[in-house]
Amino acid sequence: MGWHYRKTIKIGPFRIHLTPHGVGHSVGGRKFNVTSTPGGGRHVSFRLPGGFHLSKSIGRKRNRHYY
């Protein structure tokens, strides 16, 4: 089990996330949300009534290194 730290500052519909890996931000509400991670990735999520949830990662993809 590892330790994690995340501090979120909310300013209206905007949220700033402070983590040991960097600063990320998100905008939106419960039904639609766009998130940018400290590593440069972006996620879009959309929630529908009845428990349906659609999510998509867009933008920069990480290169996998095999050693």
47 DSSP β-pair partners: 53
Q: Compute the distance between CA of residue 25 and CA of residue 33 in angstroms, rounded to an integer.
A: 11
Q: Within 13 A of 51's CA, how many CA atoms are on the CB side?
A: 0
Q: Compute the distance between CA of residue 67 and CA of residue 46 in angstroms, rounded to an integer.
A: 37
Task: Pick from 36-40, 52-56, 58-62 the range whose average pLDDT is largest.
Answer: 52-56
Q: Compute the distance between CA of residue 30 and CA of residue 13 in angstroms, rounded to an integer.
A: 10
pLDDT in tens, 5-26: 889 999 988 999 998 888 999 9
Tokens representing 24? 């990320």
Residue 35: other Cβ atoms inside 10 A: 18
The confidence score (pLDDT) of residue 25 equals 92
